[in-house]
C-alpha cells in the first residue's frame, strides 16, 4: 500500500535550497528528484523555502514537480508553481531606507530585490557575476538610493569581509524602531526582509494555507535562517554541512550536501529508517 512505511505524522516536508537540495556547485543533488517522488507516492507533500528570488526557484519547482505554494525571499513572497503571487510582505519605505543606509554605512554593497527586478550598487562587485549567471539576466545598476521608489521585498548586504557582514547583522538586529528580519543566508550575504518574512513564519503560513498542523510538518536546512523553521515544525533535520550551532537545534542530522544528504534524510527520517526503528 502506498505510503505504508511513511511516518504517519508527517504530511508536509519543507526544504531549504542552497546547501540542502543543491550541492556545493549549486547543482540539484542527484538523489533529490527520486526522494521527492517517493514522498509524493507516500502522499506527503513537498515544497521549498528559500532566500532566492522567483527566477531562481522556478527551475526547481519544475524539476521537482512541486504543485503547491513555495516561499521566496525567506517568506517575503509566496508563489504558486506558475510563479503567480499568493502572498507578499514588502518592507515599508521607512524601514527599507533605514536598512539601505545602514548597509552602505557598514561598507557592504547593496542589492535591492523587488518582485521581478534586481538592482545592485556596484555591478562589478563581489558575487554579482555569479548571481547573473544563475539568474540568466544582468543586474540593473542602482541609480538611486531612495528606497521609496522601489517595492522592496528584500535588501541584501554583500561583502567578502565576513566579519563586516556579521557586524552589520548584529547592529541591524539591535536597531530600534524598525520592523525587520536580518539573517545571513551565507557568510557573504546579509538578507533583510519585513519582520514577518522569515522561514519560521513561512511554516505557520503554509500550515494555514494547506490546513496541515505544524507538528505534521518536517523541515530540513543548513543555515541559521533555517533554525527559525525548525522551531515551528514537528521534525527538523540539519544538513551535515551545517554548523554545530544549527545542528544542535535540529531533531536529526543527515549527511552533507556533498553526500546527497537530502535524499538520505528523506529515506531515513521521513519514510522509514531511523523513525521506523524507533517506533518498533
pLDDT of residue 274: 54
Q: In the beta sheet, which residues pair with residue 252?
A: 237
pLDDT of residue 4: 41
Mean pLDDT of the chain: 93
- Cell readout for 88 is 507578499
Mean pLDDT of all residues in 224-253: 97
Counting residues of the chain whose pLDDT is more than 90, the rounded percentage is 88
Contact 221, 235 (CB under 8 A): no
pTM, full prediction: 0.88
- Which CATH number does the domain 93-194 belong to among 3.40.1010.10, 3.30.1240.10, 3.40.50.300, 3.40.50.20? 3.30.1240.10
Domain ranges of the chain: 12-87+198-279, 93-194
Contact 28, 63 (CB under 8 A): yes
How does pLDDT run across 57-70, given as a tens digit for each residue? 999 999 999 999 99
pLDDT of residue 273: 57
User: How does residue 177 score in pLDDT terms, banded at 50, 70 and 90?
Assistant: confident
- Which CATH number does the domain 12-87+198-279 belong to among 3.40.50.2300, 3.30.70.1060, 3.40.50.1000, 3.40.50.11540? 3.40.50.1000
- Please, is 278 exposed, middle or buried when counting C-beta atoms within 10 Å of its C-beta (0-12, 13-18, 19+)? exposed
pLDDT of 192 over the 70 cut: yes
Greatest CA separation for the chain: 62
Q: Which helix (H) or strand (E) holds 124?
A: none
pLDDT of residue 270: 96
User: How does residue 115 score in pLDDT terms, banded at 50, 70 and 90?
Assistant: confident
Closest CA to 50 of 41, 42, 60: 60
Closest CA to 100 of 59, 39, 149, 49: 149
How does pLDDT run across 125-156, given as a tens digit for each residue? 999 999 999 888 999 999 999 999 999 999 99
Same fold, 12-87+198-279 and 93-194: no
Amino acid at each position: 500500500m502506498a505510503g505504508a512505511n511513511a511516518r504517519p505524522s508527517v504530511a508536509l516536508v519543507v526544504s531549504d535550497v542552497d546547501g540542502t537540495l543543491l550541492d556545493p556547485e549549486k547543482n540539484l543533488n542527484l538523489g533529490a528528484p527520486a526522494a521527492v517522488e517517493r514522498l509524493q507516492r507516500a502522499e506527503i507533500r513537498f515544497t521549498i523555502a528559500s532566500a532566492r528570488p522567483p527566477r531562481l526557484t522556478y527551475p526547481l519547482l519544475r524539476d521537482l514537480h512541486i504543485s503547491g505554494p513555495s516561499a521566496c525571499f525567506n517568506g517575503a513572497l509566496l508563489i504558486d508553481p506558475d510563479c503567480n503571487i499568493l502572498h507578499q510582505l514588502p518592507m515599508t519605505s521607512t524601514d527599507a531606507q533605514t536598512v539601505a543606509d545602514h548597509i552602505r554605512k557598514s561598507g557592504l554593497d547593496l542589492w535591492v530585490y523587488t518582485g521581478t527586478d534586481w538592482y545592485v550598487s556596484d555591478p562589478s562587485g563581489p558575487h554579482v557575476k555569479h548571481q547573473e549567471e544563475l539568474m540568466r539576466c544582468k543586474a540593473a545598476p542602482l541609480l538611486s538610493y531612495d528606497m521609496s521608489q522601489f517595492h522592496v521585498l528584500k535588501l541584501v548586504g554583500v561583502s567578502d569581509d565576513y566579519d563586516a557582514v556579521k557586524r552589520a547583522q548584529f547592529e541591524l538586529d539591535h536597531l530600534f524602531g524598525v520592523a525587520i528580519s536580518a539573517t545571513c543566508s551565507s557568510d557573504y550575504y546579509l538578507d533583510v526582509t519585513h519582520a514577518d518574512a522569515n522561514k519560521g513564519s513561512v511554516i505557520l503560513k503554509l500550515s494555514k494555507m494547506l490546513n496541515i498542523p505544524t507538528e505534521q510538518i518536517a523541515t530540513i536546512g543548513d543555515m541559521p535562517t533555517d533554525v527559525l523553521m525548525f522551531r515551528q515544525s514537528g521534525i527538523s533535520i540539519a544538513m551535515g554541512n551545517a554548523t554545530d550551532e544549527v545542528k544542535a537545534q535540529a531533531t536529526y542530522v543527515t549527511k552533507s550536501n556533498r553526500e546527497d544528504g537530502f535524499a538520505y534524510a528523506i529515506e531515513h527520517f521521513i519514510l522509514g529508517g531511523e523513525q521506523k526503528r524507533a517506533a518498533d
